[in-house]
């Protein structure tokens, strides 16, 4: 695994779980202004930054005709591709 893994890399390595990703999607869908979100025991992700940095996801979220299912899939994709930060001790 690289020194700067994506969420997807961490799921594949069994460091994060699909439940962690699902919780992140749920948190974003409940409040799109959610910034720092804890992933598993060791990582955190700026959800708003991760989703806004993906042009396609931004378009899907802004399109009033996008279904809830499409919005959730877009959020999941952006989170899967994002690079979370290691939590700082303390």
- Give per-residue pLDDT as tens, 10-44: 999 999 999 999 999 999 999 999 889 999 999 99
pLDDT at 87: 87
Q: Which H/E stretch holds residue 10?
A: helix 7-12
Place of tokens 């001790």: 89
Contacts 24+ apart (CB under 8 A), 57-62: 61/32
Short-list 80, 72, 82, CA closest to 25? 72
Distance from C-alpha of 71 to C-alpha of 62, rounded to nearest angstrom: 10
Question: Can you give the pLDDT at residue 90?
Answer: 59
């Amino acid at each position: 695994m690289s020194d700067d893994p994506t969420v997807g890399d961490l799921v594949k390595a069994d460091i994060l779980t699909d439940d962690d990703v699902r919780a992140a999607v749920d948190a974003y869908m409940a409040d799109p202004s959610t910034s720092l979100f804890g992933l598993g025991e060791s990582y955190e992700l700026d959800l708003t930054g991760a989703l806004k940095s993906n042009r396609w996801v931004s378009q899907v979220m802004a399109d009033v005709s996008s279904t809830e299912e499409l919005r959730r899939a877009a959020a999941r994709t952006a989170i899967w591709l994002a690079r979370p930060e290691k939590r700082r001790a303390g």
